[in-house]
Amino acid sequence: MSDVSVHPDRLDAVAEWDYEADIVVVGYGVAGVSTAIEAARAGADVLVLERTGGWGGAAALSGGFIYLGGGTALQKALGFDDTPENMERFLMAALGPGADQAKIHDYCQGSVEHFDWLVAQGVPFKEEFWGEPGWEPPADQGLMFSGGENAAPYNTLATPAPRGHLPQMADKHTSENGGGFMLMKPLIDTAATLGVRAEYDVRLQRLILDHSGRVTGVVAKRYGKPVHVRARRGVVLATGSFAYNQQMIEAYTPLLINRPAAAIEEHDGIGIRVAQALGAQLAHMDAIEVAIFADPQVMARGILVNGRGQRYIPEDSYPSHIGQSTLIRQNNEAFLIIDETALEEANNTVSSSAAMRSVPPAWVAESVEELESEIGFPAGILQATVEVYNRHAKDGADPLLGKKPQWVKPIGTPLAAYDLRNRTGGFTLGGLRTDLDSRVMHVSGDPIPGLFAAGRCTSGISAGGYVSGASLGDGSFYGRRAGRAAAVS
């Protein structure tokens, strides 16, 4: 943890302002830029402070999934029916326990409009659906199932609809051509057109309060020197998660110790800590997204067993649900069992996760008995699991876990096992509790005057579960809310 104090400074102790604006946004990632655009459109003079030398944050490096639905123009164009109510039913089941119902309801109701807004800012979406298992589509397809909507048990709770919306990429790879970059670039350009100013290499340290307890500015550091920035109407925190704050990880999400993934080092929890120093309320600090480093095309065609040789999740699930379940409920122990024919079939598919296949199976065997012994399971354990699976699989059914019939085939021989123990990583989802106008709530239940937040320094729509696109989704959605609310505060 940094030894820099997060105790707020008093307004009357500030001798001189280095910068002034109506609204000061801290962090120029997806939440920050969405805030800036809406605040500027509402007539506010906006200044963004960014710790690094340029805009983008984790968002610009990301895959670019934005979780939207309820009947977006893209869903409709590709022939998928969805309603806000259907989307809400799914999200309440998939993002719990403890999901914020008011936020999810609000997000689902506003989702179609939010998609239209992104398009209006210049974010491109290609009208093409990708329906294969995978972390991402292999090319520039614009829509994909990205949360297990079409897998058990969720496909029995709500009508499956794909909601992973992806900005079109020029040439798929991360950084300058990735989906996240193609989301951020038009938003940043829009902000610049609206007159939003940005100052780089400026690192937030703490907030400034007036005599009434209202947030009126920030103290930052640039090249080792303090910088004082006055916010006439409000400060919006958009500094990202705490995935790279070791002490906070140990305190709140110990399962992620030494396994941060899909985050950047600048996500050090500062936005959360400066607001905590004012008495801010936190929510879902234990919530995590978890990736498992395996190709979903291979997983869907095999069976996943835990450290006791038992199946525990439908293998055609959203891979992050598999990751969460493995890390949280299976002691981070998994083995992927697949026969040679199915593995060859998977290896011949197009997949954006093909790189994960380069890790060869840890064991190959002529029989289940032999494989069981190679892995080190007690005799009979894996044989019993495969026997029960195959008994129903010959009829195309998986009555135990509900894997979809298209992926259910008896496991034959020869066969192999991937060692997926300790092959997970993730990022944190908890943070400041905010209301639907992105006002930061005090532990008393009232908003903290002059303080707003959005993105992964807040607790958004995810609690116990996750869907790909929830972070760019709620970050941009509630960033916009923060901008509008701060502009009239």
- Interface ranges with ligand FAD (CB under 6 A): 26-32, 49-52, 57-59, 61-65, 203-204, 238-240, 262-264, 266, 270, 455-457, 468-473, 475
Residue 421 CA to residue 437 CA, distance in Å, equals 42
Rounded to a whole number of angstroms, the minimum distance from the CB of residue 95 to ligand FAD is 13
Rounded to a whole number of angstroms, the minimum distance from the CB of residue 143 to ligand FAD is 13
Name which of 28 and 312 has its Cβ closer to ligand FAD.
Answer: 28
Q: How far apart are the first and last CA of the chain?
A: 33
Instruction: Please give the single-letter amino acid code of residue 172.
Output: K
Rounded to a whole number of angstroms, the minimum distance from the CB of residue 386 to ligand FAD is 35
Name which of 349 and 458 has its Cβ closer to ligand FAD.
Answer: 458
Name which of 190 and 471 has its Cβ closer to ligand FAD.
Answer: 471
Burial pattern 219-232, b for ≥16 Cβ within 10 A else e, equals bbeeeeeebbbbbe
Q: Which residue is nearest to ligand FAD (CB)?
A: 29
**Alpha helices in 150-261, H assignment, sequence order:** 179-193, 246-252
H or E element in which residue 46 lies: strand 46-49
Rounded to a whole number of angstroms, the minimum distance from the CB of residue 211 to ligand FAD is 26
Rounded to a whole number of angstroms, the minimum distance from the CB of residue 247 to ligand FAD is 16
Name which of 2 and 101 has its Cβ closer to ligand FAD.
Answer: 2
Least Cα distance to 290 among 240, 264, 253 occurs for 253
Nearest-10 crossing angle of helices 30-41, 470-487? 30
Rounded to a whole number of angstroms, the minimum distance from the CB of residue 429 to ligand FAD is 8
Burial tier of 462 (Cβ tally within 10 Å: 0-12, 13-18, 19+): buried
Name which of 256 and 343 has its Cβ closer to ligand FAD.
Answer: 256
Q: What is the CA radius of gyration of the chain?
A: 24
Name which of 239 and 306 has its Cβ closer to ligand FAD.
Answer: 239
H or E element in which residue 218 lies: strand 215-222
